[in-house]
Structure 1
Amino acid sequence: MTYTIDRYPCEDSPRLGAMTLHPTPESVPRARRWFRKFIAPYDPLCSVDDCTLMISELVTNAILYGRSDDEWVVRVEWYREGTSLRVEVHNPGFPASVQLRRPDADDAHGRGLFLVASIAESWHSGPSRFGGTVVSFLMSGAWPA
């Protein structure tokens, strides 16, 4: 299986890019690097550091909680929606299993979605059009009106 990057989205589409990743720990830093590289030409006004942190958390969750009997991938896509940036992370897990937790200070896990909810304008989870689950976040003010 190879990694896939969509560098040249269709002009009629609001999608700015996409990547397909193996469900392995090495994919988390790869997702950060590729997102930084491929969002840079669009020069977003929102914090790319915040976006890469949230992508890291969501890709990690997708790898940990995605399930399939067949070979599977994690798919990350990013879109321009007016002045906002929307990022989606897809995996073959079950949408009902996505839960925002409020971890205690001594909890070792459970902060990923809490970070996303704290940083992003909004977040959403539900069924993915690829099957499984999608978790997305929206960063408002990414581009001027």
Structure 2
Amino acid sequence: MPSSDENTDPQLGDPPSRQISLRGITSSVSTARQHVRRILGTGHPSVDDAALVASELVTNAVLHSRSGQGGTVRLTVSDTGRVVRVEVTDDGSLFSAPYLRDEPCAEGGRGLHIVSALCKQWGAYTTPTGRVIWCELAR
């Protein structure tokens, strides 16, 4: 069962950011999309693109990190008023890091191309317990 938290730092004036923890299984991808739609609302100008990139990033976390081996994935969605930031935190991988595949005939591997096309910027960094993949969409 997903758990959800709202994090706001009123002293810093940070915008509300909402996160959900998901099991590292493929059915969590649809839960991630629903969560983005619930947080941003159906009338938000970036809701469709944000739901799509969240779906792609959660899918990658489940398929390519230790999260998909009984771990968890955390999805955080923030709307600053100028950009929507989507972050996916996974349990990391010993074998790979996120990269854009250059294999046009491959059956898969287009997720980060979609993220790159829709977002103003994206990136990744490691943490002591895993990896965070983030992206920002124009509002």
- TM-score when scaled to structure 1? 0.81
Q: Which amino acid aligns with 2:103?
A: P
Q: Distance in 2 between matches of 1:81 and 1:131?
A: 27
> How far 1:119 sits from its partner (Å)?
0.9
Q: 1:101: which partner in 2?
A: 101
Q: Distance in 2 between matches of 1:119 and 1:103?
A: 20
Q: 2:32: which partner in 1?
A: 31
> How far 1:103 sits from its partner (Å)?
2.7
RMSD across aligned positions (CA): 2.3
> How far 1:40 sits from its partner (Å)?
1.2
Asked if 1:120 corresponds to 2:116, the answer is no
Q: Deviations over 1:59-98 (max 9, x none)?
A: 0000011116x85210000123451111100101149611
For structure 1, which segment, 79-88 or 26-35, has the greater mean C-alpha deviation from structure 2 after superposition?
79-88
Q: 2:23: which partner in 1?
A: 22
Asked if the contact 2:2/2:21 (under 8 Å) is kept, the reply is: yes
Residues 127 and 14 (structure 1), Cα distance of their counterparts in 2 relative to 1, 3 Å cut: farther
Asked if the contact 1:23/1:72 (under 8 Å) is kept, the reply is: yes
Residues 54 and 131 (structure 1), Cα distance of their counterparts in 2 relative to 1, 3 Å cut: same
User: Which segments of structure 1 move beyond 3 Å, counting only runs of 4 or more?
Assistant: none
> How far 1:9 sits from its partner (Å)?
3.3
Return 5+ residue gaps in structure 2 as ranges: none
> How far 1:58 sits from its partner (Å)?
0.4
Q: Distance in 2 between matches of 1:85 and 1:34?
A: 14
Asked if 1:132 corresponds to 2:130, the answer is yes
| Identical aligned residues as a percent | 31
Asked if 1:53 corresponds to 2:55, the answer is no
Asked if the contact 1:102/1:111 (under 8 Å) is kept, the reply is: no
Return 5+ residue gaps in structure 1 as ranges: none
- TM-score when scaled to structure 2? 0.84
Q: Deviations over 1:23-43 (max 9, x none)?
A: 1111001110111012118x6
- Greater share of strand: 2
Q: Distance in 2 between matches of 1:9 and 1:39?
A: 15
> How far 1:11 sits from its partner (Å)?
5.3
Asked if the contact 1:76/1:87 (under 8 Å) is kept, the reply is: yes
